[in-house]
Amino acid sequence: MNSPTRRRVTEDKSWVLAPLLELPHVVHAAVISGDGFIEGASPGLSREAAEGVAAMMSALQGAGRAVTAAFTEQDDARLRQTVIESDEGFVFAIPAGENTCLAVFADPEVNMGVVAHHMQIQVTTLGKKVMNSPARDLGSQA
């Protein structure tokens, strides 16, 4: 019996998480692609947990857009933020560029406004870094 192939957890965008992980009561953070793959995760988050977070966050973001579109009767509804509150704490998710989401998990004592503000700063930083990266050399055409 073959086990399913897992996509490797990449750390290429994990740098954007460091300032968020320094905030009081923030436990984990991740950069997630719209198709449910991890593009960066906090060091303490296991691979299995990160993959589960990515899959569920992708589904949650899609459901959030669909519910908003249904309520507003506008097919082009865009999410700004998704927040989940549980006995264990809060999950915050915001769009972080084309087909990407930034997600944070924090203890119940967290200052929600501070986390949301710093997430926006990091999304802006991520966007600037991606936009200022040199284009990849795809080779010359012969």
CB-based burial label for 28 (10 Å; 0-12, 13-18, 19+) = buried
Q: Give per-residue pLDDT as tens, 57-70.
A: 999 988 999 999 99
The reported pLDDT for the residue numbered 136 is 39
The model's pLDDT over 32-63, given as tens digits with 9 standing for 90+, comes to 988 889 999 999 999 999 999 999 999 998 89
Task: Say what the pTM is.
Answer: 0.80
Quote the CA–CA distance of 130 and 142 in Å, as a whole number: 29
Q: What is the CATH number of domain 12-128?
A: 3.30.450.30
